[in-house]
Amino acid sequence: MVSPKILFLSTLSGIATVTSAESGCRCGDSAYLAIPRVNLSTPEQLKPCATYKLLDARGSGEPQGVSLMFQNTIRRILGNNTGAVSQAVVYPAGFDQNVTSGVKFVTDIIKYGLQDCPKQKYFLFGYSQGATVVQRALNGLDDASMAAVSSVVMVGNPYRTPGRLSNYDSQGHHDNRTAYGLFAVRSLQSNDSILTFNDGLDRSGKVADICLENDIVCSFDPNCKCQLASDHLSYGLMKPVQDQIFDHVISRL
């Protein structure tokens, strides 16, 4: 039986068409994602009402905890704001892309959190499959819950679509590329609707959907023959990206 991981990674090359053009992508190793994670706020810190709750959803293959793509920035945000707490979204993050429990986790945290802490604001982070979790959760929030979401940051979003105001490149500039994300391409090829968030949220300034130049998960490139491009693994290592995320979140506090 073929494992979900192999099926997922093979999709990157399976969708590609044969072409003679060269790509600027460099191949990465998904084993990097298996580095053990930490939780940045203790269970005791999560019990009281906080001014801000940072919810992050990790990507495929990352162990439970804060994603490597957000760990440094979330730690920095917590260090600059004593009213903030961090909580990692609990879900499998397996290569079968089953996000059901993660979506429920996010929607429940916000919905029931508002009952106990009506003034609490929420900041959502999603990397790769975690971006899918975040978008599906956003689509399931009621009006009160949506109003409590102050910021959304996604990196390596496989459903990224061009032409959105919330699209940014690695330097914090609006991204005018016309490429679709990997799963958005798959949806187009099968005549399915593309998972996304509504135009009102896109115009709100709350969302930053960041995609590195050679990340074939969020900007599919049929010329790249890598199963996984190194750019998809690099968000947590690039200071301009981390500064961009930090500045976006701080501006929404």
Tokens of 65: 């905890």
Nearest alpha carbon to residue 119 among 48, 175, 57, 17: 48
Q: What is the pLDDT of residue 15?
A: 39
Contact yes or no for 91/128 (Cβ under 8 A): no
**Domain 50-252 -> CATH class:** alpha beta
| Model pLDDT, residue 1 | 46
Please give the Cα distance from 216 to 81 (Å, whole number): 35
Beta bridge partners of 153: 125, 208
User: Residue 41 has what DSSP assignment?
Assistant: S
Q: Which pTM value belongs to this model?
A: 0.89
Q: Indicate the burial class of 115 (C-beta count within 10 angstroms; 0-12, 13-18, 19 or more).
A: exposed
What is the model's pLDDT at position 34? Answer: 85
From first to last of the 253 residues of the chain, give the pLDDT tens digit: 445 444 444 444 443 333 323 567 899 998 888 888 778 888 778 877 999 999 999 999 999 999 999 999 999 999 987 789 999 999 999 999 999 999 999 999 999 999 999 999 999 999 999 999 999 999 999 999 999 999 999 999 999 999 999 999 999 999 999 999 999 999 999 999 999 999 999 999 999 999 999 999 999 999 998 988 999 999 999 999 999 999 999 999 9
Report the pLDDT value the prediction gives residue 72, as an integer from 0 to 100: 95
The pLDDT assigned to 153 comes to 99
pLDDT at 138: 99
How far apart CA 189 and CA 207 sit, in angstroms, is 27
How, if at all, do strands 207-210 and 149-155 pair?
parallel
Can you give the pLDDT at residue 22?
52
Confidence at residue 43, expressed as pLDDT on a 0 to 100 scale:
79
Amino acid, res. 37: R
Q: What is the pLDDT of residue 148?
A: 98
The residues spanned by each domain of the chain are 50-252
